[in-house]
Structure 1
C-alpha cells in the first residue's frame, strides 16, 4: 500500500512540477508537453485506487506503471520532434505554410485557438545541461516506472 501511495505522489509530482515551471521560470509548454502530463494523472489515480483496493492492487498497480510509461513514450516521441528526426502530427505543433494560394483569412483560421510554443523548440530548464524538459521527463518516467515495477515484483502489488 505504501508503494502505491508513493507512486501516486510521484506520478502527480511530474505534471505539478511542469505546471509550476511555467509560473516560476516562465516556461511556455508546447502541445506535446501538455500531452505528456495526462498519463501521469491517470497513473496517480490508478495507483491511489490500487492503494485503496487491496483485491485489485496488482492489476491497478501494473496499469499505473503502464500509464507512466505512456508519458515516457510521448516524451521519446517529443525528443524526436525536437531533434528534427520526424515532424509532429499535432496541429498545434505545425508551422503555418504560406503559399499554395492560401489567403490571409485561411492562414488566420488555421491558427491554434491559443498561442503555443513550437514542439520542435526544446526547452532547457538547467543552463548548460543538454537535457530538454522532454528528455528529463523521459528519464523520470523510465526511473519511476522501473522503481514501481520493483515495488510490484517485491510484493507491494499483492
Structure 2
C-alpha cells in the first residue's frame, strides 16, 4: 500500500467506522426496539462528532487546503471514535457486573400526544442489563471492540500515509 493509498484509507475508515456503528445503533433502536440507556447515548455523541469531523476532513482534502487541516480532522475523528469505544468498555463492564455504573436507568418518552401519558408509559431502560448479546458480547462490548480497532487502524494508516509526505 502506497502512502497515498494509506492516507485515503485512513480518511475513509475515519468516516466508515462511526457511520456504521451509528447506523447499527439506529437500526437496533428503530427496527428492533432496543431503546438506548443513558450510557448508550453517551457512546453515540462521540460517534456523531467523528462523523462530522470525518466529513469535514474530506471537504478539506478536496478543497486542497493541505495535508495538515484534513489530517487533523481525521485525527480528531479517530480520537472521538476511540472515546466512544472507551465509554463502551466502561458500559460493558457495568453490564457484566465488573463495576457499578454512574446511572442505573433511563427512559425514552415518545413525543406527540399527551405528555403525561408518554412519560408514564415510557419504557425504563437499565444501563446494567445488556438487552442483546452475541457470543456473550453486548452491544457496548462490540462498540468497544470495533471503535478501538477502527481508531487504531486510522492512526496507523495515517502514520503510514505521512511517511510518504
Q: If the TM-score is normalised by the length of the shorter chain, which range does it land in?
A: 0.7 to 0.9
May I ask how many residue pairs the two structures share in their alignment? 139
For residues 58 and 13 of structure 2, what CA distance do their matches in structure 1 show? 10
Q: Residue 137 in 1 paired to residue 143 in 2?
A: yes
Counterpart contact for 1:31–1:116, Cα < 8 Å: no
> Which one of 85, 106, 118 corresponds to residue 98 of structure 2?
85
CA distance in 1, matches of 2:157, 2:82: 16
Q: CA deviation at 1:148?
A: 0.8
Root-mean-square deviation over aligned CA pairs: 2.6
Q: 1:26-76, CA deviations, whole angstroms, 9 ceiling, x for partnerless residues?
A: 222211111111111111111121222134022221111110110011001
Per-residue CA deviation, residues 67-126 of structure 1 (Å, 9 max, x unaligned), is 011001100110121122322223645xxxxxxxxxxxxxxxxx99x5431000012243
Please, what TM-score do these two structures have when normalized by structure 1? 0.75
1:40 is aligned to 2:53: no
Gap runs ≥5 in structure 1: 94-110
Q: Match for residue 99 of structure 1?
A: none
Aligned to 2:156: 150
Residue of structure 2 equivalent to 1:65: 78
Distance apart, 1:134 and its partner CA: 0.6
**Contact 2:13–2:150 (CA under 8 A) maintained in structure 1:** no
Distance 1:41 1:156 in 2: 26
Segments of structure 2 that go 5 or more residues without pairing to the other structure are 1-6, 61-65, 107-118
Matched residue, 1:50:
57
Greater strand share, 1 or 2?
2
What residue in structure 1 maps to residue 125 of structure 2?
117
Asked whether the equivalents of residues 36 and 72 of structure 1 are also in contact (C-alpha less than 8 Å), the reply is yes
- TM-score with structure 2 length normalisation? 0.73
What is the rounded CA distance, in whole Å, between the counterparts of 2:152 and 2:132 in structure 1?
Answer: 25
